[in-house]
Amino acid sequence: MQEQDSERKAEELWQRAIALLRDIMTTDEERSQMERYLPMFTYHGIEGNEYVVGLADQFQVDWVTPKLALPLERALHASGMPREMHMKFSVKQMAENMSVPTPSPVLAQNKPKKTVRQSSGLSREFPSTMPLHENYTFENFVCGPSNSFAHAAATAVAKSPGKTSYNPLFIYGGTGLGKTHLMEAIGHYVLKHSPSASVCFITSETFLNEYVNNLMNKSLTAFRERYRKVDVLLLDDVQFIAGKEQIQEEFFNTFNELTLRHKQVVMTSDVAPKNLNGIEERLIGRFQQGMVVEIESPSYETRLAILKSKAQSSQKIIPEEILKYIAENIRSHVRAIEGALSRIVTFMDMNGNMPLTIEIAQHLLKDSIEEEKIIKDLSINDIMQTVAKFYGVSIADIVSSQRTQTLVTPRQLAMFLSCKLTTKSLPEIGKAFGKTHATVYHGSQTIQKRLDVEPALKKAMEEITSLLGRKPSDVLD
Ligand code: ADP
Ligand code: MG
């Protein structure tokens, strides 16, 4: 009886603490973090002097708790938890035992070459899945600060598809940074551990084409039925459905069906959901309901680690000096790094006996490195010039101290773009503008916020970005 009473009290304490936590989070950033993460926590029980809060899996322990542990413990104390008590996180038992969804007919198989194509006899029953690339596995994915969050989320999903709250898992980031690789790795993992699971990997473009074909053949019902049988839907490059309303409707319904049945949906896109122009709000809302993770450009160390791993699988002995040279000079994305490495490997294949020197490597990679320079090396001055020209003002105006709105916007936009498109630090940018680093920071933040609510400013930013030879996705996050 007494035990029941203390359980009830502990539960009430939990409810109070949660309510309090909602009140004490003041900034938008804190609130949005809390809205996203708090539903993952549940009251678990009391163990001695510890108030145990349950989490579903190790991913949450590693990534979610550092963000909310301290405020949550404070809220518990403020809600009446005795001072000598502490909060502890614990992974719920069931998470460990969770496995892949109920067996259903095989779609993609472990041997990718044999996966179902439309021409196969199975295609009438199952959605066409594209073959998974053999090498796009977790084992071949090199982790670094730029992708470890996405990697951790992908691993959690692969271990318990449809059973975590990361449904859908939305992976976004620039081109060639490993989104498709990571998504396919989930597919490989699920199939390896549960060969009878139905995994469908498809680009949004193929999804669209298939929809249109079925629409013309008046076989939409069958099309829908097929997608409902999927355990894991891996949908690549969802930005492709922007502006195509009918398919969005179809996708919205498929999506709801699958998530309602606890089937896993994973998507990739080149921009964050909120920056997907031409996609309905309600769909964007759905995309954000699970877990949204970004893959960023890899750091030097990660680039080098990727190179070493790829060099090893090419079974060539490439001098460290040359790998470092590539990692230093090819910085834009992983696909470009692979391209550079494959040039070296081809050269080695063709000139078996000739030792590979740094001079030869420099020569072989000259073009790629030139391209990189064009991609990466924008100067602050280039940015100021382009922004000034766009707004019909002068560079002198931009660096002046005049605070009229006609100058403040171009000035802050130039600061924002300098932060996003150059590798310069805040103090360096400040110096170029004749301002402090705090002013640059404030200016950039202001633009970042305005971009979300001012379509005209966003359009101007997109045009300027394109004048600078960049894509909006290089700037937006
Ligand atoms: P995206 O879909 O983001 O455009 P991909 O997944 O196609 O990029 O990746 C491009 C190439 O780079 C692929 O060959 C992929 O294997 C490789 N790659 C990207 N990131 C990594 C990584 N972290 N470790 C190993 N290979 C990677
Ligand atoms: Mg891709």
**To 10 degrees, the CA torsion angle through 307, 308, 312, 314?**
20
Mutate to test the pocket of ligand 1, among 177, 204, 236, 294 (most ligand atoms within 8 A of CB): 177
Q: Alpha-carbon distance 142 to 340, whole Å?
A: 17
pTM over 0.75: no
- Taking residues 366-380, what's their average pLDDT? 77
Is pLDDT above 50 for 111?
Answer: no
180 lines ligand 1 (CB under 6 A): yes
Is pLDDT above 80 for 60?
Answer: no
DSSP helix/strand/coil, 413: helix
Q: Alpha-carbon distance 289 to 255, whole Å?
A: 12
- Ligand with the closest atom to the CA of 141: 1
334 lines ligand 1 (CB under 6 A): yes
106 lines ligand 1 (CB under 6 A): no
Cis upstream peptide for 273 (omega within 30°) = no
- Percent pLDDT > 90 in the chain is 42
Q: How many residues does the chain have?
A: 477
Determine the pLDDT at residue 135. Answer: 92
| pLDDT bracket for residue 136 (50, 70, 90) | very high
Q: Which of 198, 259, 264, 267 is nearest to 229 (CA)?
A: 198
The first and second tokens of residue 406, run together, are 């006609």
Determine the pLDDT at residue 193. Answer: 95
Q: Which atom of ligand 1 is nearest to the CA of 142?
A: 24
Determine the pLDDT at residue 373. Answer: 67
Dihedral sign (CA 468, 473, 476, 477) = negative
- Taking residues 373-379, what's their average pLDDT? 69
Q: Alpha-carbon distance 54 to 32, whole Å?
A: 21
* 98 compared with 49, residue with greater pLDDT: 49
Determine the pLDDT at residue 311. Answer: 93
Q: Alpha-carbon distance 192 to 187, whole Å?
A: 9
The whole-chain average pLDDT of the chain stands at: 83
Considering only CA atoms, which residue is closest to atom 14 of ligand 1? Answer: 335
Determine the pLDDT at residue 436. Answer: 93
Is pLDDT above 50 for 266?
Answer: yes
- Ligand with the closest atom to the CA of 333: 1
141 lines ligand 1 (CB under 6 A): yes
Is pLDDT above 60 for 120?
Answer: no
Contact 156, 57 (CB under 8 A): yes
Q: Which of 359, 411, 349, 408 is nearest to 380 (CA)?
A: 411
Kindly report, residue by residue over 350-369, the tens digit of the pLDDT.
887 788 899 999 999 998 88
Give burial (CB, 10 Å; 0-12/13-18/19+) of 52: middle
Determine the pLDDT at residue 40. Answer: 73
Cα 66 to chain centroid, rounded: 19
306 lines ligand 1 (CB under 6 A): yes
